[in-house]
Amino acid sequence: MKYTIKTLLCALAVLMAIPVNAQEDISNQFNPISTGVTTLSIAPDARAGSMGDLGAATDPDVNSQHWNPSKYAFAFSSAGFSVSYTPWLRKLVNDINLVYAAGYWKFGNNDLQALSASLRYFSLGKVPIYDSNYNLQNEVNPYEMSFDLGYSRKLSETFSMGVVFRFIYSDMGYGGISSAEDMSGAAAFAADISGYQTVYPIIGRNECQFSWGFNISNIGSKVSYDGGTNSAFLPTNLRLGFSFLFPIYDYNTLSLNLDINKLLVPAAPRQSDYTFIDDDGNTQYDTEAYNQAKEDFNNTGSISGIFKSFSDAPGGFKEEMQEIYFSTGLEYSYNRRFFLRAGYYYENKYKGNRQYVTFGTGFSLNVFSLDAAYVMATAQSSPLDQTLRFTLSFDMDGIKDLMGRRRR
């Protein structure tokens, strides 16, 4: 079968739209970490997306399930839910999108614990499949989705922890060699472990807020689309975040935020790393060693892969440091009703080269809030440029108060 150019764009979407710089000086060093179900790493909501894709230590909101579910135990409201929508790669195609729904409910004495859930659905649109004579044979609708349930609890007045259990399904049925049916759907299970602490130091005459948090996400089984012959790691990720919020005037606050991330996934072997110089001075590939390295990589378990990911980079410690990527963001708030946000996302040019500036705004009432975010890529060739995100959230306490006033 032959596929349209749209199929290639869909593959680009699955690879998180990494802009590859093909300049000669980096071609041999470009070595991004590859995983399965990469769409799990896409920022799903507008608030975090407008601050450079961060959220490990920011104030709790209804979308904390993706960033740090431990924050739900400190949520201001007793319950809430939200729906987010992201048109993906809109500069290239018009039917790839991410829909994300999340919600939580606090319960128990003094609301010390919370249950949460989220549903993520990433659609790659309709992909036509043609035969060798370019006759339309079929249309498939590849997608990836996940559903998870979480539990968080305060362990002290300032610290909480949480766990999440996740079911993942990836249906990339357009990618076989001879037909769309050659590639089956892949299912996996994963878990997150997280923690969050917030304190209120007095600086000068002002009460400020300092928070930090961590989230180890997508710890789970590997995924395979060919019955286990080849398998891919989930995008297991370590996220560590810090947030400092301080008042700047009556009803006005500003928060400074930073997230540090590292994929806990081992690097796949590259053929270029298995070369030698023969007696004639020519560069040759050690095919046997390379095939053995590929076999060892495929046989590596998901848990052992986490530990291996800290020391397996071909370039040693320097390349390990290149695998760390950063998000920084600012959030201005007026009376917790109106918000302005900005951020920056940085990934090393040898590990994906995703670098972009983000902006966003938000408006909140007692019953609902609306947030929007916009991405402006620093690399002109980046398909992520001009990405928009929208989130509509509802506060159940506000809805109850509204309904109570109506009854009276």
For the stretch 46-66, pLDDT in tens is 999 999 999 999 999 999 999
Question: pLDDT at residue 7 above 60?
Answer: no
Per-residue pLDDT, 132 = 72
Instruction: Identify the CATH homologous superfamily for domain 2-267+309-407.
Output: monomeric porin ompg (2.40.160.40)
Question: pLDDT at residue 12 above 50?
Answer: no
Helix (H) or strand (E) holding 56: none
pLDDT bracket for residue 408 (50, 70, 90): low
More confident position, 371 or 302: 371
Name residue 287's amino acid: T
Per-residue pLDDT, 23 = 44
Q: Coil, strand, or helix at residue 179?
A: coil
SS3 content of the chain, % helix, strand, coil (to 5): 20, 45, 35
Q: Coil, strand, or helix at residue 140?
A: strand
pLDDT bracket for residue 374 (50, 70, 90): very high
Confirm if 42 and 217 have CB atoms less than 8 A apart: no
- Mean predicted confidence (pLDDT) in 161-168: 97
Highest mean pLDDT among 13-22, 228-237, 352-361: 352-361
- Of the candidates 7, 15, 72, the one whose C-alpha atom is nearest the C-alpha of residue 38 is 15
- Of the candidates 202, 116, 175, 196, the one whose C-alpha atom is nearest the C-alpha of residue 151 is 116
Confirm if 235 and 305 have CB atoms less than 8 A apart: no
Confirm if 352 and 16 have CB atoms less than 8 A apart: yes
Q: Where are the domains of the chain?
A: 2-267+309-407
The string of pLDDT tens digits covering residues 178-211 is 444 455 678 999 999 999 999 999 998 899 999 9
pLDDT bracket for residue 27 (50, 70, 90): low
Max CA-CA distance within the chain? Answer: 93
Sheet with strand 127-130: strands edge to edge: 2-3, 127-130, 136-140
- Of the candidates 216, 303, 224, 329, the one whose C-alpha atom is nearest the C-alpha of residue 263 is 216
Tell me the two tokens of residue 175: 């990618």
Tell me the two tokens of residue 331: 């959030």
Per-residue pLDDT, 178 = 42
pLDDT bracket for residue 277 (50, 70, 90): confident
**By mean pLDDT, which of 12-26, 189-203, 368-382 is the weakest?**
12-26
What global pTM score does this model have?
A: 0.87
Pairwise CA distance, residues 206 & 330, whole Å: 19
Mean pLDDT taken over the chain: 85
Pairwise CA distance, residues 395 & 31, whole Å: 44
Per-residue pLDDT, 165 = 97
Q: Indicate the pairing of strand 136-140 with strand 159-171.
A: unpaired
The string of pLDDT tens digits covering residues 105-156 is 999 888 899 999 999 999 988 777 776 777 777 777 889 999 999 999 999 9
pLDDT bracket for residue 24 (50, 70, 90): very low
